[in-house]
Amino acid sequence: MATDISKITEKSPWQDLTEGNKIFAGGTSKYFHTGEWRTNTPVLDKEKCTQCLLCTPVCPDSCIPVKNGEREDFDLDHCKGCGICASACPFNAISMKEGK
């Protein structure tokens, strides 16, 4: 029996999960809060941020939402704390702090 993956959440009963918890469709990570794996947390200094948006496309987890041409706060429910955004920021507006 195929399960509609869009209806699976972190609180779904084990019977609804696929064998081996394999995911057979793309774009399903938004249903799972994978940010709990994070060991480092990005911190935005809004005074240094120029809204250049260079950090946005480099985030492998799409955790930097943009609305009306401006970046918003990090989506920490899905951020793994890799630090790529901090490395990409030419204005040092993003720093990484240890912990969640």
Once rounded to an integer, what is the mean pLDDT over residues 81-95? 96
**Residue 2 resides in a domain:** no
Closest of 82, 76, 78, 81 to residue 33, by C-alpha = 78
Parent domain of 42: 7-98
**Residue 48 resides in a domain:** yes
What does pTM read for this prediction?
0.68
pLDDT tier at 36, thresholds 50, 70, 90:
confident
pLDDT tens for 68-85 read 999 999 999 989 999 999
What type of residue sits at position 32? Answer: F
pLDDT tens for 4-28 read 555 666 677 766 767 776 666 655 5
Q: E strands within the chain? A: 40-44, 66-67, 70-71, 94-98
What are residue 48's DSSP bridge partners?
none
**Residue 22 resides in a domain:** yes
Reduced to 3 states, what is the DSSP secondary structure of residue 66?
A: strand
Domain tally, the chain: 1
**Residue 1 resides in a domain:** no
CATH number for the domain spanning 16: value is 3.30.70.20
* Phi and psi, residue 31, nearest 5°: -85, -10
pLDDT at 74: 93
pLDDT tier at 67, thresholds 50, 70, 90:
very high
**Residue 31 resides in a domain:** yes
**Residue 70 resides in a domain:** yes
